[in-house]
Structure 1
Amino acid sequence: MAATRTRRPSREDKSTPVPSTRDLTAHAKFAYWVGQVAEGQKGAIFALFLLFYYNQVLGLSGSLCGLALLIAMAVDAITDPLMGSITDRWRSRWGRRHPFMYAAAVPMAIAVYFTFDPWVDSQAGLFVWLLVFGIAARMLMTLYSVPHMALGAEMTNDYQERTVVVAGRSLFGYLGQFLVYFFGFAVFFASSAEFENGQLNSAAYPPFALLMGAIMIVSIIYSAAGTHHLIPRLQRPEKPQAHPVRQLLLDTGEALRNPSFRWIAVGFIVVAGPVGTGMAFALYMNTFFWEVPPEGMTYILLATPVGTAIGYLFAPLLAPHLEKRQSLILGALGWAVFAVAPVCLHYAGFFPAPGTTGVVVGLSVFAFLAGLVVSQVGVAVGSILGDVSDEQELVNGKRQEGVFYGAYAFVNKATGGIGSAFSGFILDLIDWPRGEHVQSAADIPPDALFALAMVAGPGLALGFIPAVWCFMHYRLDREKHRAIVAELDARRAAGDTPLPVTAGPT
């Protein structure tokens, strides 16, 4: 760190140091983790069902779906970092993060419900409905998720403990996905006499969204209330935000000057396309290419969060032996291999035939393995951003968790949004049939099925090459972070920043 140029923080940059590990109770961590259930639900619902519902079930043009989702992503590109800048500098008796967490709960659930209960049926009407409520749901998730993720980085400054906090948060995010898949295919989209593939039943979507929204409200409120007692010991800005847009530009410029953050952000933006496309096409592939019934769909979709959950449990054990950069690279490459292998093996003649029990087992195994390895990516990047916040404080005297996690929140949503948008255009490009007359694989032309498989199979792997190259340039390792924390502690001991305001045990 000798070559790093630093400056002493000015008076307006001063903030309360991050609490140490000993201040963090098991209940506080659990309450924080529970809050990720809501984001896991919303992410799974939008990534898996949104394009399929509007395009395949309601018959909206794939290009119009893609256009609506691209516009929504453009809005996210502004609101996510803006929310990060706002929450970093927010002053209230409830701190910087909690007011937004409380405020988002009910409106977000309402927006998610109405997204899946359109009151129109024309192409123009469906496009506008998807655009308006899709943007509303995303903005309200931003209002919650950016402060929530930034809160995690403030809860401890310990290198290893941050990995535990992020691993637990990621685990509960997959619990949210589990709830979506279970209630979706085991209850609302189960096979019936009228709909062999229940996910083609438009009447099942509104009650499904209503239940998911109710669970979201409970998740968010419990998390905010369960971490409320930490507010007195968390970071507090000394200067209120007067010009949020101007401050956003300044904060974003400062964040992008950090090379650690820059390489991670670019890598995840690059990888968002193929990952999101694979998620958007999952329901199409399982329904029409692999001919999996709804009950089999449950096993395949749940295999990924189960594998990921197990991976999260092992993440704290692997952390002492792997640098976070290594976890990123191995996780990304592992996901690419296991995600595209079934299609490649199918055309090579080494995979079970579509419509059989064997294909359900095979897809479940590969989905489990993909989840097992990709879990390390989620844990690593969540923990990395906390480390980068420490580095940023050393360089310019400011902690910018909100800006960094705002960018991460955008990439998380971009994974589903960009993928779904691209997928919508691709569906029109390959002349994919849609509407009520499409009920099974027999209604899909063979050329369209082949084109879909090539995009959702080998085509996805290509996007990982530049992403891995970006990850290889991340240089903030364990030893460098230890030196950064030691320097920050020395500054605080010398009086360069205020001492933490601590509260009694809770």
Structure 2
Amino acid sequence: MTSSSESKAIEPRETPPSEKLSLVTKLAFGVGDMGAGMTATIMVFYLLFFLTEVAGLPPGLAGTVLLVGKAWDAINDPIIGSLSDRTKSRWGRRHSWMLCAAIPFGLFFFIGWMVPDFGADIATNPWPWFWYYAIVAILFHTFYTCFNLPYAALTPELTEDYNERTSLNSFRFTFSISGSILALVMAQVIFGQIDDLKMRFVVLAGAIAVMAVIPIFLCVWGTEERYSSATEHGLSYFEQIKVVFSTKAFLFVIGIYLASWLSFQLTASIIPFYAQHWMGMEDPTPLAITVQGTAIVMLFVWSYFSRKLGKRMVYFLGMSLWIVAQIFLFFLPQGDRGFLFFLCFLAGIGISTAYLIPWSMIPDVIDQDELNTGERREGVFYAFMVLLQKLGLAIGLFMVGQALEISGFNHDLAVQPDSALMAIRVAIGPLPLVFLICGLILAYFYPITRKRHAEILKQLHERKGLPAPTCD
């Protein structure tokens, strides 16, 4: 795998770019995100608990390990995105990165759940363990980005068809959400069979690592890149920032995605507190499974309606239902669990559009950028899209933590003060509602409609001397 700043401008293969994709290709592409969904879910739910309760790190150092991993994860996205754009390889500029990163990705995920023996007392000298987990976190997130970012950039390379791209993302997030649910089920089964805490996580991490790596190879085997050579030249980090923030349509997508993703992260991070302290539920996992299970089914429903109504209208419909759910979550009486599950179902219908629509808008933005610049820079745009996803997670967790601390929340209390309960309800209702409304406003003004995208494709094909694209 090599990269070059002197490669020729990219040229599409002879296969007609508007050709509909086969079911095998869609399945192969979709399964590529399954490993990311599994590993991310296990880390979100269990990593902080593992570092403190199993490995024995002080909470402050454990939190610092998470911060180090996420900080590096955000830094390396634009770097790897640009390198991916410039890569020349007989395996393809995206596939080569996925193949090389797959096994190290699984390996470093696995060893991150082990407790090494450094011959010292972690209670008196935790630093060897801190550096071990911090270095493993940096390496894991490096190889995670090395496979996941080029994978995401495959979307516009597999097809130029407006509707097929939405369909591709339906398959992608179906496998991603299915992977997250499967990982949670596996954790419950393994934890129920093994008493030793350390061995629980070793077994779980080993099983997840194997199951996360195999789909990457299946994805490479079942997909074919449209663009086989690199972009004309590379961009520095600041040049990348200039590109993305001078592209008007991308700014709208950034806003739409960040608004919906931040709303989702706020809700996901506060739901355990809401379930336990407002609803009296010990385990919030059934609520998460209800939301994610509904989102899986609705991905294909929304993909169908997107063909009929367009991406923007589907986003309007989904967000409207999600807004209704968030409003009722604030007013829901204590202990009304039956209606709570209905609201989770309603929210899942809307959340599926947050997965589907912004990611299917990005390829259209890339086409417009190619029309303006003559280059395909998928890696740059997807890098900043992923960076914002991680930024949304960090902001969401920070906002929840600050709200709980200011309100007087105390985890040692069986019954929380009224101020803490109100903060929990505000964080699950009105606060996400504000972001969802902002997302709707931005979607209304999003400039690339289906008609505009057809015009972009027509001009691109005329420039390349290709037949005019077919449209539904």
**Please, what TM-score do these two structures have when normalized by structure 2?**
0.83
Kept after mapping to 2: 8 A contact 1:303/1:371: yes
Residue number in structure 1 paired with 2:328: 341
Give the 3 Å change call, closer, same or farther, for CA 149–30 of structure 1 in structure 2. Answer: same
Q: Which residue of 2 aligns with 1:500?
A: none
Shift of 1:344: 2.5
For 1:22-47, what per-residue CA distance to the aligned partner results, in whole angstroms no more than 9, with x for missing partners? 37332222111111111211232233
Does residue 1:374 correspond to 2:351, yes or no? Answer: yes
CA distance in 2, matches of 1:299, 1:254: 43
The equivalent residue for 1:406 is 383
Aligned equivalents of 1:412, 1:482: Cα separation in 2? 28
Alpha carbons of 1:467 and 1:69: their partners in 2 closer, same or farther (altered >3 Å)?
A: farther
CA distance in 1, matches of 2:350, 2:366: 26
Compared CA separation, residues 260 and 139, structure 1 to 2 (3 A): same
- Larger displacement relative to structure 2 (400-409 or 387-396): 400-409
Matched, 1:101 2:91: no
Counterpart of 2:445?
473
**1:32-111 → structure 2 map (5 Å cutoff):** 32-51=29-48, 53-54=50-51, 68-111=65-108
Q: Which amino acid aligns with 1:481?
A: H
Query: 1:485 corresponds to which residue?
Result: 457
In structure 2, what residue type is equivalent to 1:154?
E
Write the distance in 2 (CA, Å) between the matches of 1:465 and 1:494.
Answer: 41
State how 1:164-175 maps to structure 2 within 5 Å.
164-175=167-178
Alignment of 1:288-367 (within 5 A): 288-294=277-283, 297-339=284-326, 341-346=328-333, 352=336, 359=337, 361-367=338-344
Post-superposition Cα deviations, 1:123-149, rounded to whole Å, max 9, x if no partner, equal 965765664444433332211111111
Q: How far is 1:334 from its partner?
A: 3.2
- Residue 237, structure 1, aligned to residue 237, structure 2: no
CA distance in structure 1 between the partners assigned to 2:326 and 2:381 by the alignment: 28
| Residue from 154, 157, 160 that aligns with 2:157 | 154
Task: Using the TM superposition, give the Cα deviation of residue 303 of structure 1 relative to its aligned residue in structure 2, in angstroms.
Answer: 1.1
Q: 1:334 touches 1:374 (CA, 8 Å); kept in 2? A: no
The range that moved more, 61-70 or 73-82, is 61-70
* Distance verdict in 2 for CA 1:39–1:430, change over 3 Å: same
Q: Does the alignment pair 1:251 with 2:240?
A: yes
Which stretch of structure 1 is more off in the superposition, 107-116 or 173-182?
A: 107-116
Partner of 1:263: 252
- Residue pairs, 1:363-442, within 5 angstroms: 363-426=340-403, 428-429=405-406, 433=410, 442=414
Shift of 1:248: 3.8
Structure 1 residues 69-111: Cα deviation after superposition (integer angstroms, max 9, x where no partner): 4544433332112221111111011110011111222222233
Cα distance per residue 1:191-226 (max 9 Å; x no partner): 99x99xxxxx67644432332222101222221222
Separation (CA, whole Å) in 1 of partners of 2:273 and 2:105:
27
SS at 2:370 equivalent: helix
Distance between the aligned counterparts of 1:322 and 1:121, measured in 2?
60
- 1:301 and 1:364 in contact (8 A); partners too: no
Cross-structure match for 1:143: 146
Give deviations 1:343-397, integer Å, cap 9, x for gaps: 42126xxx52xxxxxx2x4333222221112212322112111111111111111
Structure 1 unaligned blocks of 5 or more: 1-9, 196-200, 353-358, 496-506
- Give the structure 1 partner of residue 265 of structure 2: 276
Look up the SS of the partner of 1:24 in the other structure: coil
Shift of the 106–66 alpha-carbon distance from structure 1 to 2, 3 Å rule, reads: same
- 1:182 equivalenced with 2:171 (yes/no): no
Partner of residue 212, structure 1: 208
Aligned residue number for residue 3 of structure 2: none
Match of 2:154, SS state, is helix
Letter in 2 for 1:163: T
Structure 1 residues 370 and 238: CA distance shift in structure 2, 3 A: closer
Q: Distance in 1 between matches of 2:32 and 2:182?
A: 14
Larger relative contact order (CA 8 Å, sep ≥ 6): 1
Equivalent position amino acid for 1:382 in 2:
W
Note closer, same or farther for the CA distance 1:403–1:31 as it changes in structure 2 (3 Å cut): same
Letter paired with 1:474: Y
Cα deviation code 1:137-193 (max 9, x no counterpart)? 3332211111111112100111111111111111111111121222233x145599x
- Write the distance in 2 (CA, Å) between the matches of 1:410 and 1:175: 23
Structure 2 counterpart of 1:290, one-letter code = M
State the one-letter code of the partner of 1:410: L
Amino acid at match of 1:143: C
CA RMSD of superposed structures (Å) = 3.5
Paired letter, 1:492? K
Alpha-carbon spacing, 1:181–1:225, altered in 2? closer, same or farther (3 Å): same
Q: Deviations over 1:380-421 (max 9, x none)?
A: 112111111111111111111111222222233334344334
1:450, 1:310 → 2: CA distance? Answer: 33
In 1: Cα distance, 2:55 partner to 2:399 partner: 19
Q: How many residues align?
A: 455
**Residues 268, 26 of structure 1: CA spacing in aligned structure 2 closer, same or farther, 3 A cutoff?**
closer
Q: Distance in 1 between matches of 2:403 and 2:60?
A: 8
Q: Which residue of 1 aligns with 2:119?
A: none
Please report the TM-score for the alignment, with normalisation by the length of structure 1.
0.78
Greater Cα offset, 101-110 or 380-389: 101-110
Name the SS for the 1:462 alignment partner.
helix
Partners in 2 of 1:73 and 1:121 — Cα distance? 25
Aligned letter for 1:99?
Answer: S
Q: Would the aligned equivalents of 2:7 and 2:230 in 1 still touch at CA under 8 Å?
A: no
Aligned-pair identity (%)? 24
Tell whether the 8 Å contact from 2:403 to 2:423 is kept in structure 1 after alignment: no
Comparing 373-382 and 408-417, the one that deviates more: 408-417
